[in-house]
A and B are shown apart, each in its own frame.
Chain A
Amino acid sequence: MTRDTPLETDGGDPRADGSGTAVADSAAQTDSSDESLLDSSFDVEDRSHASEDTDAIVEARDIDVYYGDEQALQSVDVAIPEKRVTAMIGPSGCGKSTFLRSINRMNDLIDAARVEGELLFDGKNVYDDDVDPVALRRKIGMVFQSPNPFPKSIYDNVAYGLEVQGKTDDVDEKVHRALERAALLDEVEDQLDESGLELSGGQQQRLCIARAIAPDPEVLLMDEPASALDPVATSKVEDLIEELAEDYTVVIVTHNMQQAARISDKTAVFLTGGELVEFDDTAKIFENPESQRVEDYITGKFG
């Protein structure tokens, strides 16, 4: 898969310092302040397979999520196609992360959270009583907003999933392959014994991606994986996501609409109140959205 324009856009950013260190300002702030980007049309990449829908691997049917008395998601219906990149965009607090975390039942870890409705993974409702959330999470990997490597060596970080899931054969090979797929192997090959915390922010996030794909999950959930990274590191992670979509279903939450336009096949737009306003092919969402509210949000008039 080749892609030219987006990378050049990023690479040409004057802020690119090439060091890959994390910068504190989030990508979202950069966007909303940059009017020229928002007014112009989006680089929606013409991905050859984008139009042909594959079967849905994750399907939400009328999902409501409550935190205590507060409703975070309102009857969301989404069918996420297999081996595609699906982006979730929307303003802060609109419930997109909540939706992501309800796919692998990470919301279970919050006592006050309650999920209603059906969420099918491979045709099975993950909220059925006989589904073990631990087993579910072994099928669905996750990458978080800020890089969170364990205070262990790089090798042990990547091998962690294999270890806890009992996949103890060929660990060496799987660790190397995961690092290679995460485009990190060349940079860390000589320092696998060193702490994962000694890497730069961008490298740490790619380490977290390597850690998530090492046990070979079916779906990869990414919760704003690039929001704590500088533009150079961001573009590396974006490249990576596109490559990963060849083998994995990727669901990515992002504040950065350019990012969603560049890398995703499908886009879901959540707006305030936990409501899924529109879900369609990325090209359609960014060029010709049905809902006026979505258009306002995308062009920066709202949100």
Chain B
Amino acid sequence: MATTDESTGSWFGADGQVSQVRGLLFKLSCLGATLLALGLVLVFLLYVFNDAVQPLTADTGWLLTFVVTLVLPAVAVGVYYYTRDTRAGEVAYTALGLPVATTLLAGGVVITFEHIVSPHAWFALALSATVAFGLVELHARTRTAGALERLAVVVLVPLLALVGVPGIAVDFPVETPLLGQELFRLSFAIPELVPSLREVILALPVLPTAAISLLLTFTLPIAAAAAWHVRRVRESDRDGAIAGGATIVAAGLGLVAAPLVDLSATTWVVLATVVALPVGLYVESVVRRDVGVSGLAFPVVVAAGALIGAFLVDALGFAGPDLWLDWDFLTSPASTTPRDAGIYPALVGSVMMLVVVAVAAFPVGVGAAVYLEEYAPNDGLLGSIVDLIEINIANLAGVPSVVYGVLGLTLFVRTAGMQSGIVMVGGLTIGLLILPIVIVSAQEAIRGVPDSLRQASYGMGATKWQTVRNVVLPRALPGIMTGTILAFGRAIGETAPLLMIGAAAVVRIPPDTFFSLFSAMPRQIFAWSKEIETEFRYGVLAAGVVTLLIVMLMMNASAILVRNKYQRQN
């Protein structure tokens, strides 16, 4: 091979022939930019977190106690995982994160059943939807009739089950555009002809209690899904039945046991379904794979440490930190005294607003994206128009949010005549704001479906509709979901449009319908920032910011989970 004679000593660049200086400088300045950006964000987050929790206000003894009971054991176990058993470390990571994440999710579900759909309304909705689905399925099985009849059944049966034939009352003056002179008045009313199945169920004289309703229509389907999953992975009917049965028993136990631990029965049912079941399934999967089982000890160590620490500081009389972000903050309404102030109505308002955003923006955005990608003409004059539209959708994504606020005010309040400051107006306005983002990300997801799959489908004699429904949408859905959830993460933090449409600064009771006045978390934070008392501007505001960030991070995390899950499958 090559020799390293003195005579060839110059070619390999030891004498600095090849200049590395500029490259090195460039690399260092890029590193500097990265550190600056990350550092600023990190410092800000630590600053806010410090204000919200104030860890240094605790007694030294309190801090020491928790260091000894909680931090040291957790670190020791963590070091063990890191050095000896990395697989167990991964398990430990998930085993701790899963209960925390599902508990936060359960909080959202409890709020949903508390304020958005009552358990009874949900019961009626789920039952009538099931009946409608059963009828449609029955029709498909018994009558392999023409497409038109199928379509009629598919549209009409769910409609009758869920909506019925509603009464309509119209009283609308038709005016000349500028002068406002009334030409004639469109006015008619028909009574409700057929009540929906949902309304019939709700009007029944005897309904199951709230907890039993949830048990039947919330826990039961989820338990069935879990049973199906367990049956498949363990290849045993018996194990599947056990999993499903155990879930229902665990949730049903709440009917009796919930008062003993000072929980409402519905909360118990939700906790059993949303927290205990996923944790149980996860433990089962770890034990079944028999990889990193020792990682399951980590959450136990953490929980035991926290409990022992809490018991010790109580017994020894050490005072904890002066928390702003505590349980009371999350569950109390706004108040004029900083210590009593809470974010609960704004939290509920944000969640309800997000429901409106999701219902409004998701179907419209995905529909537009499907049309633009799959159906819109590509060439000729129409093609150029479509190109122009697509460019402008991307531009719309960059329009300042305050402009959308003005648009929402004009469109929904001034033109459509809705009351300003209600959940519906806020949700629709912010839905408009994120619509371009949803469209663009859904377009990208649809574009990512390989053309060879479309070709395969067309080659099989599938129509365009069959191809879009069976091949393109299922394949694009994870991407669409990821993009949409990220857009929702932006929606929940928007403030300017809420100011424009007149969302209230302070609301003391959570909105109970979508047409109630509401406040949202960012709006509430903005209001606190203008309070005179410094405790509002530092402590309460910081707690609000941390709450908002946690909700947003959860949404982003779920987007990442969806993406990872489907990436692995494809």
When the two chains form the complex, which single residue of B453, B462, B470, B475 contacts A134, counting CB atoms closer than 8 Å? B462
Question: How distant is A102 from chain B, measured CB to nearest CB, in Å?
Answer: 13
The contact string, 1 if C-beta is below 8 Å from chain B, for chain A 201-245, is: 000000010011001000000000000000000000000000000
Q: Any chain A CB within 8 A of the CB of B187?
A: no
Question: How distant is B350 from chain A, measured CB to nearest CB, in Å?
Answer: 36
**With the chains together, A137 CA to B454 CA distance in Å?**
14
**With the chains together, A103 CA to B422 CA distance in Å?**
59
Q: Any chain A CB within 8 A of the CB of B463?
A: yes
Known: A148-B450, A150-B453, A150-B471. 20 other contacts (CB 8 A): A106-B459, A109-B454, A109-B455, A134-B461, A134-B462, A134-B463, A136-B461, A137-B458, A144-B456, A150-B470, A151-B475, A163-B470, A164-B460, A164-B461, A197-B570, A211-B456, A211-B460, A212-B459, A212-B460, A215-B461
Q: Any chain B CB within 8 A of the CB of A146?
A: yes
Which residues of chain B come closer than 8 Å to A160, judged between CB atoms? 457, 460, 462, 470
Which residues of chain B come closer than 8 Å to A136, judged between CB atoms? 461
Q: Any chain A CB within 8 A of the CB of B452?
A: yes
The contact string, 1 if C-beta is below 8 Å from chain A, for chain B 459-502, is: 11111001000110011000000000000000000000000000
**With the chains together, A223 CA to B570 CA distance in Å?**
25
Which partner residue on chain B sits nearest A108 by CB separation? B458
Decide: A144 and B455 in contact? CB cutoff 8 A.
Answer: yes
Give the dominant DSSP class at B's interface: helix
Decide: A161 and B458 in contact? CB cutoff 8 A.
Answer: no
Q: Any chain A CB within 8 A of the CB of B17?
A: no
**With the chains together, A211 CA to B460 CA distance in Å?**
8
Question: How distant is B480 from chain A, measured CB to nearest CB, in Å?
Answer: 15
Which residues of chain A come closer than 8 Å to B462, judged between CB atoms? 134, 160-161, 164
Which partner residue on chain A sits nearest B232 by CB separation? A193
Q: Any chain A CB within 8 A of the CB of B379?
A: yes
Q: Any chain B CB within 8 A of the CB of A90?
A: no
Q: Any chain B CB within 8 A of the CB of A135?
A: yes
* 15 pairs from A and B in contact (CB 8 Å cutoff): A106-B455, A137-B461, A138-B461, A141-B460, A148-B452, A149-B456, A150-B471, A160-B457, A160-B462, A161-B462, A164-B463, A164-B466, A211-B456, A215-B460, A215-B461
**With the chains together, A146 CA to B450 CA distance in Å?**
12
Which residues of chain A come closer than 8 Å to B336, judged between CB atoms? none
Which partner residue on chain A sits nearest B456 by CB separation? A148
Q: Any chain B CB within 8 A of the CB of A19?
A: no
When the two chains form the complex, which single residue of A151, A165, A168 contacts B461, counting CB atoms closer than 8 Å? A165
Interface residue ranges of B531-570 to A (CB < 8 Å): 569-570
Q: Any chain A CB within 8 A of the CB of B29?
A: no
Q: Any chain B CB within 8 A of the CB of A259?
A: no
Which residues of chain B come closer than 8 Å to A151, judged between CB atoms? 453, 474-475, 569-570
Q: Any chain A CB within 8 A of the CB of B142?
A: no
Q: Any chain B CB within 8 A of the CB of A195?
A: yes
Question: How distant is A168 from chain B, measured CB to nearest CB, in Å?
Answer: 7
Q: Any chain B CB within 8 A of the CB of A170?
A: no
Question: How distant is A191 from chain B, measured CB to nearest CB, in Å?
Answer: 13
Q: Any chain B CB within 8 A of the CB of A258?
A: no
**With the chains together, A151 CA to B476 CA distance in Å?**
11
**With the chains together, A111 CA to B378 CA distance in Å?**
8
What range describes how many residues of A lie at the interface? 20 to 34
Question: How distant is A38 from chain B, measured CB to nearest CB, in Å?
Answer: 31
Which partner residue on chain A sits nearest B466 by CB separation? A164
**With the chains together, A168 CA to B142 CA distance in Å?**
13
Decide: A137 and B459 in contact? CB cutoff 8 A.
Answer: yes
Q: Any chain A CB within 8 A of the CB of B144?
A: yes
Q: Any chain B CB within 8 A of the CB of A112?
A: yes
Which partner residue on chain B sits nearest A221 by CB separation? B459
The contact string, 1 if C-beta is below 8 Å from chain B, for chain A 123-144, is: 0000000000011111101101
Which residues of chain B come closer than 8 Å to A197, judged between CB atoms? 570
Decide: A112 and B456 in contact? CB cutoff 8 A.
Answer: no
Which residues of chain B come closer than 8 Å to A267, judged between CB atoms? none
Q: Any chain B CB within 8 A of the CB of A104?
A: yes
Question: How distant is A32 from chain B, measured CB to nearest CB, in Å?
Answer: 26
The contact string, 1 if C-beta is below 8 Å from chain A, for chain B 317-347, is: 0000000000000000000000000000000
When the two chains form the complex, which single residue of B379, B453, B458 contacts A109, counting CB atoms closer than 8 Å? B458
Decide: A208 and B379 in contact? CB cutoff 8 A.
Answer: no
When the two chains form the complex, which single residue of A111, A142, A144, A161 contacts B379, counting CB atoms closer than 8 Å? A111
Which residues of chain A come closer than 8 Å to B474, judged between CB atoms? 151
**With the chains together, A215 CA to B279 CA distance in Å?**
45
Which residues of chain B come closer than 8 Å to A148, judged between CB atoms? 450, 452-453, 455-456
Question: How distant is A104 from chain B, measured CB to nearest CB, in Å?
Answer: 7
When the two chains form the complex, which single residue of B377, B456, B458, B569 contacts A150, counting CB atoms closer than 8 Å? B456
Decide: A208 and B569 in contact? CB cutoff 8 A.
Answer: no
For A136, A151, A212, the residue with the greatest tally of chain B CB atoms inside 10 Å of its CB is A151
Which residues of chain B come closer than 8 Å to A211, judged between CB atoms? 456, 460
Interface residue ranges of A169-219 to B (CB < 8 Å): 195, 197, 208, 211-212, 215
Decide: A137 and B456 in contact? CB cutoff 8 A.
Answer: no
**With the chains together, A135 CA to B570 CA distance in Å?**
31
Which residues of chain A come closer than 8 Å to B379, judged between CB atoms? 111-112
**With the chains together, A212 CA to B459 CA distance in Å?**
8
When the two chains form the complex, which single residue of B144, B450, B460 contacts A161, counting CB atoms closer than 8 Å? B460
For B144, B463, B474, the residue with the greatest tally of chain A CB atoms inside 10 Å of its CB is B463
Interface residue ranges of B122-163 to A (CB < 8 Å): 144
**With the chains together, A104 CA to B461 CA distance in Å?**
10
Question: How distant is B141 from chain A, measured CB to nearest CB, in Å?
Answer: 10
Q: A137-B461, A168-B144 are in contact. Are A195 and B452 (CB under 8 A)?
A: no
Decide: B456 and A208 in contact? CB cutoff 8 A.
Answer: yes
**With the chains together, A106 CA to B460 CA distance in Å?**
11
Which residues of chain B come closer than 8 Å to A165, judged between CB atoms? 460-461
**With the chains together, A217 CA to B85 CA distance in Å?**
56
**With the chains together, A137 CA to B456 CA distance in Å?**
11
Which residues of chain B come closer than 8 Å to A150, judged between CB atoms? 453, 456-457, 470-471
**With the chains together, A27 CA to B316 CA distance in Å?**
80
Question: How distant is A148 from chain B, measured CB to nearest CB, in Å?
Answer: 4
Which residues of chain A come closer than 8 Å to B457, judged between CB atoms? 150, 160, 164
Which residues of chain B come closer than 8 Å to A149, judged between CB atoms? 456
For B455, B458, B470, the residue with the greatest tally of chain A CB atoms inside 10 Å of its CB is B458
Q: A111-B379, A112-B379, A195-B569 are in contact. Are A137 and B453 (CB under 8 A)?
A: no
For B450, B456, B459, B463, the residue with the greatest tally of chain A CB atoms inside 10 Å of its CB is B459
Which residues of chain B come closer than 8 Å to A141, judged between CB atoms? 459-460
Decide: B459 and A144 in contact? CB cutoff 8 A.
Answer: yes
Decide: A142 and B463 in contact? CB cutoff 8 A.
Answer: no
Question: How distant is B93 from chain A, measured CB to nearest CB, in Å?
Answer: 27
Decide: B459 and A104 in contact? CB cutoff 8 A.
Answer: yes
Which residues of chain A come closer than 8 Å to B569, judged between CB atoms? 151, 195
**With the chains together, A148 CA to B461 CA distance in Å?**
16
**With the chains together, A245 CA to B471 CA distance in Å?**
30
Interface residue ranges of B373-410 to A (CB < 8 Å): 377-379
